[in-house]
Amino acid sequence: MSQAQAPEPRTTLDPERVAHWLARHPDFFVGREGLLQQLKVPHPQTQGAISLLERLVHDLRERAETAEWRLEHLLETARHNEAQYQRTRSLILALLESESVDALGEALSTQLSERFRTQAVALWLEPGTDGATLQPPRFALDTPTRAAFDELLDGHNSRCTRLPRDTWQHLLPHTTPPDQHGSCAVTRLTVGEPLGYLLLASQESEHFRATLDTLFTDYLGEIVGRLLVRLDAAHARRG
């Protein structure tokens, strides 16, 4: 009696080799469309399997939705940047029309309130020699006020930070303080020499949160500093 022949061992293809081979032969399924319909792949969201064609349709739909979201995000960013540009343009033009330092302070207060939701503004400047009575939001610096600004800036040229109620009362005496603390953006005004400080404040504690970029505040401080120098020079010529 002959001995039964042992079955040949089953050969398993290496998935990586199969994937590599298919990548090198993308036309393999041409003429084998029926095979495509028989292939099953895991469902992307639930247990079970779906046909390869269903999975491709699902993936294409997701890609289309992602592309649509990205496009809408880009359009929203463009609209925001355009609005920001228009507000900044109106602000700068109004500042350029100022004929005195007090008019500059008034323009700052009005424009920032109407266009940037800034509830309070103060322009603290080095004491002048003209002896004029200062009008809010313009104030004359003294030693305690410099110390208060140095504490707020904490070594920075510009900074967004919380503004405690007592500091608000000191630096914004012409406005109503918050119940506890607000927030502020502060920048040092310097054009060759120290000129003072510009303070923008909100009663909302997170309006000028510490994580905000200070690019706008830096830019506004540079504009205001140069206008102060120009207005002081014009006042000296008239005097």
CA–CA dist 101, 224 (Å, integer) = 10
Residue 68 confidence (pLDDT) above 60: yes
**pLDDT tens per residue, range 15-40:** 788 778 888 887 877 777 677 667 77
Give the pLDDT confidence score for residue 4 in this predicted structure: 56
Q: How much is the pLDDT for 146? A: 96
Packed helices 101-116 and 215-238: angle between N→C axes, nearest 10 degrees: 150
**Is the model's pLDDT at 150 over the cut of 70?**
yes
Tell me the angle at which helices 52-96 and 101-116 cross, rounded to the nearest 10 degrees.
160
Token pair recorded at residue 52: 């390869």
In the predicted structure, residue 160 carries a pLDDT above the cut 60: yes
- Res 7: pLDDT: 59
Share of the chain above pLDDT 70, in %: 88
Q: Given this model, what pLDDT does residue 145 score? A: 97
Which listed CATH number (1.10.40.50, 3.40.430.10, 1.10.10.2120, 3.30.450.40) goes with 100-238? 3.30.450.40
38-65: average pLDDT: 76
pLDDT score at 1: 47
Q: In this predicted structure, what is the pLDDT of residue 33?
A: 66
> What does the pLDDT look like over 164-222, one tens digit per residue?
999 999 999 999 999 989 999 999 999 989 999 999 999 999 999 999 999 999 999 99
Tell me the pLDDT tens digit for each residue of 101-133. Answer: 999 999 999 999 999 989 999 999 998 755 567
**Does the pTM of the predicted model rise above 0.75?**
no
